[in-house]
Homo-oligomer: A and B are copies of this chain.
Amino acid sequence: MPTLPVEHSGPPERGDAARNRALLLQAARRLVDERGAEAVTTDDIAAAAGVGKGTLFRRFGSRAGLMIVLLDEDEKAQQQALLFGPPPLGPGAPPLERLLAYGRERLMFVDAHHALLSDVGRDPQMRFNAPMALHHRHVRWLLETARTTGDLDAQATALLALLDADYVHHERTDRHRTLDELADAWETVARKLCGS
C-alpha cells in the first residue's frame, strides 16, 4: 500500500500544529484517565497541554472532535490487539477462550469510554456501521470457529447488546453491578450459545 510522503521541510507552522495536536491528545488522554471524560473541559485540556484554547479548536473543531479522535485511537489499538495481539485475546487460543477474553476486554473498554460511545450509539446508522460492524464480525467469526450452531448473526448481536455502552453504564450506576458481575454474566451467555 502506498504511504503518504512525509513532510520534512514544511513551514514551521506545520510542525507546531502537529506538535500541538499531539500535546492536546496526550493531555486529554491523561485527564480522561484521571477523572473520566465527563469531568474534562476544553479549558482543562488546553491548560494541561500548555497551549491556548483557540489552538484546541483549530486542531479539533470542538471538544467532541477531540474526543472522537481519542476514541478512534483506542478503538484501533483494541482492534489491533484482537486481530494480531497475544492470546487469549489475539490468535493462538481456542475460539471460545478468545471469545471470553473479548467479552471481558470489551466490557472494560466500553466502561472507560462510556460517554463517547453513548453519543455515537445514539445515531441508529452508527449502531450498525463501522466500527460496530467490526465487533460484530469478530464475535460472529469466533462463534463460527467455535462451531456454534444456529443463526450466528443474531447470536453475535445478542452478545454485543450486553457490551452496549448505555446498557453497561445503566447496570453499573443504576443497578450497582460490578464489572466482574457483568463479565461473568457475559461469559454465561457466551458459553450457552457456544454449547459449552
Contacts and interface: CB of A to CB of B under 8 A. Distances in A.
Nearest to A150: B188
Nearest to A152: B185
Nearest to A155: B189
Nearest to A171: B153
Range of interface residues on A (Cβ < 8 Å): 20 to 34
Contacts of A193: 189, 192-193
A5 interface: no
Given A122-B122, A124-B122, A154 B182 contact: yes
Give the oligomeric copy count: 2
Contacts of A174: 128
Interface stretch (A31-39, A48-56, A157-165): A157-165
Contact of A192 (B166, B185, B192): B192
Q: What is the interface of chain A mostly: helix, strand, loop, or mixed?
A: helix
A151 interface: yes
Contacts of A182: 154
A137 interface: no
Nearest to A193: B192
Interface string A163-196: 0101100110011000001101110110011010
Interface of A: 118, 122, 124, 127-128, 149-151, 153-155, 157-162, 164, 166-167, 170-171, 174-175, 181-182, 184-186, 188-189, 192-193, 195
Closest 5 CB pairs of A and B: A161-B161, A150-B188, A151-B185, A154-B185, A158-B158
